[in-house]
Amino acid sequence: MKIWKWILGIIAAIGGTATIVAATSKKKHEKKVNDNQKKVKQVQTKTKQVQQQKTQTKKAVTSQKKKVSNTKKQVKNTANAKQTTKNFENKYRGKKRKPKTKS
């Protein structure tokens, strides 16, 4: 009968140490989880700020695109004028005339 008591005592001691180890590891785990939740909250606040900045920059970009398109509409195409002046220079100021020299 004494052997059974010893065996039962050893098993109880092993079980007790296992529960103590489990309890401490659970506390460590809970602490890590809490730290991670704090970090997640910080990241979420930063992402909200970045999203707000992103929307502001998108608005600014679209307004600039509108301004650019409006100015492009108002500017006339100069390709025809350039071609006309080139033709004029080739026709009337061609090889006949010497370029002016700087003195």
User: What is the 3-class SS of 6-44, one letter each residue?
Assistant: HHHHHHHHHHHHHHHHHHHHHHHHHHHHHHHHHHHHHHH
pLDDT at 99: 61
Interior angle at CA 27, CA 26 and CA 30, nearest 5: 85
Tens digit of each residue's pLDDT, the chain (103 residues): 688 888 888 888 888 888 887 778 778 888 889 999 999 999 999 999 999 999 999 999 999 999 999 998 888 777 788 888 888 877 777 665 566 676 5
Q: What is the pTM of this model?
A: 0.46
pLDDT value of residue 16? 82
